[in-house]
Amino acid sequence: MNGIPAVHDAALPGHPGAVDWERVRADFPLLMREVHGHPLVYLDNANTSQKPLPVVASQDEFYRRHNANVSRAVHALGTEATEAYEASRARLARFLNVRADEVVLCSGTTFAINLVAYSWALPRLKEGDTILVSRMEHHANIVPWQLVAQRTGAKIKVAEILPDGSLDLDGLHRAMTPDVKLLAVAHVSNVLGTVNPVREICREARRRGIVTVVDGSQAAPHLKLDVAAIGCDFYAVTGHKMCGPTGTGALWARREHLESMPPFIGGGEMIKEVSFDGTVFNDPPHKFEAGTPNIAGFVGLGVAIDYLDAIGMDAIAAREAELLAHATEALQAIPGLRIFGTAPGKAAVISFLVEGAHAHDLATLLDLEGVAVRSGQHCAHPLLQYYGVAATLRASLAFYNTHEEIDRFVAALEKTRRLLA
């Protein structure tokens, strides 16, 4: 579509070492602001990422020049908007390495998982069936299954973790009993940073006829993805954690599932023909996209994916691993600091507590120093129950963070810890 900003060219694709990270950072205007008189240190990226200039500009450009509804109008603007929207679907499909006609665009992972719950699971599951979920799931990958269980009589079974925050894979395999019809698991934990071996997990599940739902919310922004190779049945992503606008995301599903699933939400766009005798639904994925979508948002998501790819997901993963190593080492030097989640190869998320200080108090004081970290339960109550803690602090890093920011965060933490001691 005309006017979508050109992709960022800071990186030489395939040459991670060549990325000019300072130049990349300069694309994120929000990172330049001050908070409470201090330069902002934004370490809440697992909550939502910041947006680079091309994404910000794409919103302005879309509303200035191309705004129209999709799939309805034959006029030029309608065609431009529809093409841009569909181009973003294709772009996301390439990013995930899946077919575009298997990608349902929706508001985010929460919607995507609910779509599977209501459209795939609800009509199929019954008493005697079991839904297996891991201990480390975000509520978005627990509560929809509880709602299905309540309405179908199916049971929920929990696959436990090991103290380092990795999944107990032997236990998981043992838990895949014949009554298990569906397994819901995160690719990357939003609290622990654990990267689960989803390929192996899905292979084992598939051998037993178990349908798999992988929550890719925290994987898509940080790892090079190949959803086809993972071999799952459903994969959910959320755009606002991938440098895209809020209210964007997608569910990838095998075509055979999309064909057999009834629509979740009814309305315009998802039909071929409507009369008072009945409705002929559109083909998937449109069958699941009733109503006017977040068109500008998806245009922005397409630009965000271009941006991530221009840097290179391998370069992003390598950069974040380096930042994680630095932050972990510096935090470990703080007396009384305990990190939750130390699984090998983890993503750049550090949940921690400092002896004698409440997580919310520390987060509030850190904010006064300009440091944004999250405190609380991170939408993962069952996981915190496992560790027997009411809350943790969470510093989550992104490729645009710097070593200097990590040093400022750790220094601010030292200062606030002493204040509370």
Give me the residues that bind ligand PLP (CB under 6 A), please.
Answer: 46, 108-110, 138, 140-141, 186, 190, 215, 217-218, 238, 240, 379
* Minimal distance, residue 323 CB to ligand PLP, in Å: 19
* Minimal distance, residue 421 CB to ligand PLP, in Å: 32
Pseudo-torsion of CA 6, 108, 46, 85, nearest 10°?
Answer: 0
Q: What Å distances lie between residue 87 and 17, 54, 100, 114, 294, CA to CA?
A: 30, 16, 9, 25, 14
CA atoms of 249 and 108, how far apart (whole Å): 4
Look at residues 81, 84, 63 and name the one whose alpha carbon lies nearest to residue 72: 81
Q: Cis peptide before 285, with omega less than 30 degrees from 0?
A: yes
* Minimal distance, residue 248 CB to ligand PLP, in Å: 9
* Minimal distance, residue 418 CB to ligand PLP, in Å: 31
Residue placing its CB nearer to ligand PLP in the complex, 312 or 341: 341
Contact partners, residue 82, CB within 8 Å, separation at least 6: 70, 71
Residue placing its CB nearer to ligand PLP in the complex, 114 or 282: 114
Residue placing its CB nearer to ligand PLP in the complex, 217 or 375: 217
- Output DSSP code: residue 100: G
| Contact predicate 341/282, CB 8 Å | no
Q: Where are the beta strands (DSSP E) in 13-66?
A: 34-35, 38-39, 41-42
Residue placing its CB nearer to ligand PLP in the complex, 140 or 149: 140
379 is catalytic: yes
Residue 180 belongs to what H/E stretch?
strand 180-186
Phi first, then psi: give them for residue 113, nearest 5 degrees: -70, -35
| Token pair belonging to 183 | 């397994």
Pseudo-torsion of CA 367, 372, 378, 383, nearest 10°?
Answer: -90
Residue placing its CB nearer to ligand PLP in the complex, 111 or 307: 111
DSSP assignment string, 325-337: HHHHHHHHTSTTE
Longest alpha-carbon distance in the chain: 71
* Minimal distance, residue 299 CB to ligand PLP, in Å: 18
Q: How far apart are the first and last CA of the chain?
A: 57
* Minimal distance, residue 46 CB to ligand PLP, in Å: 6
Residue placing its CB nearer to ligand PLP in the complex, 190 or 401: 190
* Minimal distance, residue 379 CB to ligand PLP, in Å: 6
- Output DSSP code: residue 198: H
Residue placing its CB nearer to ligand PLP in the complex, 396 or 416: 396
Catalytic residues: 379
